[in-house]
Amino acid sequence: MYATLPGFREFPPERFRERNRIFRILRSTADLFGFEEFDGPILEPLDLYVDKSGAEVVDQLFWFEDRGGRKVALRPEMTPTLARIVGAAGASLRKPVRWFTLNEQYRFERPQKGRQRAFTQFNLDILGEPSLGADAEVIACFVAALERCGLTQEDFRVRVSDRRIWTRFLDLMGIPAEKHPDCLSAIDKMERLSPEKLSAWLTPVLGDGTTDFLGRVAELRSIRDEAQLLPFLESLASRQEDNEKSAELVASWKQFRSAVDALGLGACAVLDLGIVRGLAYYTGPVFEIFEASGKGRALAGGGRYDHLVEKVSGVSMEATGGALGDVTLLDLLDSKGLLSTTLAGTECFLAIGGEASRPRALQITQLLRQFGISTSYLFKEAGFGKQFKEANRSGAKVVISVGEREIETDEYPVKDLASGEQISVSFENLGEQVRSVLRGGE
């Protein structure tokens, strides 16, 4: 028959239920932090992404020409859409803007562990706010979301870095701005590539200075203590003016770091300049969250991108944000046993003693539903024993038997399946009594 397309997942109820529970946690966490949810089109003009990310991205997009001859693409991310909406609203928006999305995005890439072609991302962004307190807030919200999913700060690491430190470093090393992207890319690869390969890759860009450069990079990358940042940068410069700039930068970083600590992330957030992130547009702090073992793909990542909104919309606005993907999150929660396996049946089940009793049973069903008690029953005729078995397997907590005997005496046995206790209740009192049995059974 027909298989699902590569990288697209199916969610039968038991998996969908769990994913939804996690999504509710993400949404409520965003609420807690004062973020408001928005959404945008699933299909956008192809150029929206090409202009932002360059022509190479076309290979990684689901795109096609529509019947009106427009080149369109399934959204691979939300940032351009966000920038357009915010840019269009411009000055009328009360700042800072704190918005989030939780929706599906699409990238035409080869699927592998932690990466699908269709995935849901939890995006958090704060716009119109230059203070790095906003960057700390975004990270704190992701951390809170992970904790509310059942993880602890022992289970993951937030590796925080800062693009400005690398830019400053490259400037002090005397490397011209046009070579920065290649250098940043090399620094990013350092974690995975052997020194020989890395050197071979970078030598065409930097020439003879490559070995010395990589040595300095390794030194800076290994710094885990904020106090060592300034001495290191000062060791690269002699001019007073350079040192003043460096001191200013480090002071700004420390302010950011202090907000991160005050928000209670000290146990999981570590300075790690090995985090660079691929994109050229980051302008400040950047971060990635990994499982504590360090294995696997990032759970979340993001950073400050102060010039991107202007590039997409023409309106200048500071911005910082990040995204958390459902694929890696669900994998991790599953491996930690944090996905629930409870049954999803209705709270109450009606055992019906023959077709003559069915109309009354259906009335009772609707009565209970009006009381907010989820209720179901079998459509076909079956013995009480079978119906109890069915009730039990469906996960119901209470069974009400409805047969000719009960209808005649107006006494309906309400059985609590967990305790085995059974009480007798009249039609009139069913709603309240069943509700109290359900509540009392907690």
Cis peptide before 231 (omega within 30 of 0): no
Site string for RNA, 310-349 (x = CB under 7 A): -------------x--------------------------
CB of 78 to RNA, least distance (A): 8
The residues near 3 (Cβ < 8 Å, ≥ 6 apart) are: none
Nearer to RNA by C-beta: 264 or 296? 296
**In the set 216, 392, 427, 441, which binds RNA (CB under 7 A)?**
392
Nearer to RNA by C-beta: 247 or 343? 343
The residues near 436 (Cβ < 8 Å, ≥ 6 apart) are: none
Q: CA-CA distance, 312 to 292, in Å (whole number)?
A: 36
Give the distance between the most distant pair of CA atoms in the chain.
Answer: 99
**In the set 92, 204, 418, 442, which binds RNA (CB under 7 A)?**
418
Q: CA-CA distance, 405 to 43, in Å (whole number)?
A: 60
Taking CB under 7 A as the rule, does residue 94 contact RNA?
A: no
CB of 118 to RNA, least distance (A): 11
The residues near 280 (Cβ < 8 Å, ≥ 6 apart) are: 181, 184
Collapsing DSSP to helix, strand or coil, 255 comes out as: helix
Taking CB under 7 A as the rule, does residue 301 contact RNA?
A: yes
Under rule CB under 7 A, which residues in 41-70 are in contact with RNA?
49, 53, 57, 60-61
Nearer to RNA by C-beta: 101 or 246? 101
**In the set 404, 410, 428, 432, which binds RNA (CB under 7 A)?**
404
Angle at which helix 163-172 crosses helix 180-189, to 10 degrees, equals: 120
Taking CB under 7 A as the rule, does residue 193 contact RNA?
A: yes
**Ordered DSSP codes for 200-213:** HHHHHHHGGGHHHH
Q: From 156-164, 232-240, 336-344, 379-387, give the range in contact with RNA by CB under 7 A.
A: 379-387
Phi-psi region of 94 (alpha: psi -120 to 50; beta: other; left: phi over 0): beta
Taking CB under 7 A as the rule, does residue 417 contact RNA?
A: yes
The residues near 327 (Cβ < 8 Å, ≥ 6 apart) are: 114, 115, 116, 119
Closest by CA to 118, choosing from 27, 50, 42, 66, is 42
Taking CB under 7 A as the rule, does residue 21 contact RNA?
A: no
CB of 421 to RNA, least distance (A): 8
CB 409 within 8 A of CB 382: no
CB of 262 to RNA, least distance (A): 27
**In the set 84, 297, 369, 435, which binds RNA (CB under 7 A)?**
297
Taking CB under 7 A as the rule, does residue 403 contact RNA?
A: yes
Taking CB under 7 A as the rule, does residue 246 contact RNA?
A: no
**In the set 112, 240, 342, 370, which binds RNA (CB under 7 A)?**
112
Q: From 1-9, 124-132, 210-218, 229-237, give the range in contact with RNA by CB under 7 A.
A: 1-9
Taking CB under 7 A as the rule, does residue 284 contact RNA?
A: no
> How many residues are present in the chain?
442
Q: How many residues bind RNA (CB under 7 A)?
A: 51
Nearer to RNA by C-beta: 139 or 250? 139
Under rule CB under 7 A, which residues in 348-367 are in contact with RNA?
353
End-to-end CA distance of the chain: 46
Nearer to RNA by C-beta: 50 or 237? 50
Q: If residue 287 lies in a helix (H) or strand (E), which one and from where to where? A: strand 285-291
Q: What share of the chain is helix, strand, coil (3-state, %, to 5)?
A: 50, 20, 35
Q: CA-CA distance, 171 to 179, in Å (whole number)?
A: 11
Nearer to RNA by C-beta: 165 or 198? 198
CB of 401 to RNA, least distance (A): 4
Taking CB under 7 A as the rule, does residue 420 contact RNA?
A: yes
Residue that is written with structure tokens 């990013």 in the block: 188
Determine how β-strand 269-271 pairs with β-strand 156-162. parallel
CB of 251 to RNA, least distance (A): 28
CB of 116 to RNA, least distance (A): 8
Q: Is residue 440 packed enough to be buried (19+ CB in 10 Å), middle (13-18) or exposed (0-12)?
A: exposed
**In the set 94, 192, 239, 439, which binds RNA (CB under 7 A)?**
192
Determine how β-strand 118-127 pairs with β-strand 319-325. antiparallel
Taking CB under 7 A as the rule, does residue 274 contact RNA?
A: no
Closest by CA to 416, choosing from 394, 432, 392, 385, is 392
Q: From 104-112, 147-155, 216-224, 229-237, give the range in contact with RNA by CB under 7 A.
A: 104-112
- Interaction site with RNA (CB under 7 A): 3, 6-7, 49, 53, 57, 60-61, 76-77, 79, 107, 109-115, 185, 189, 192-193, 277-279, 297, 301, 323, 353, 383-386, 388-389, 391-393, 399, 401, 403-406, 413, 415, 417-418, 420, 422
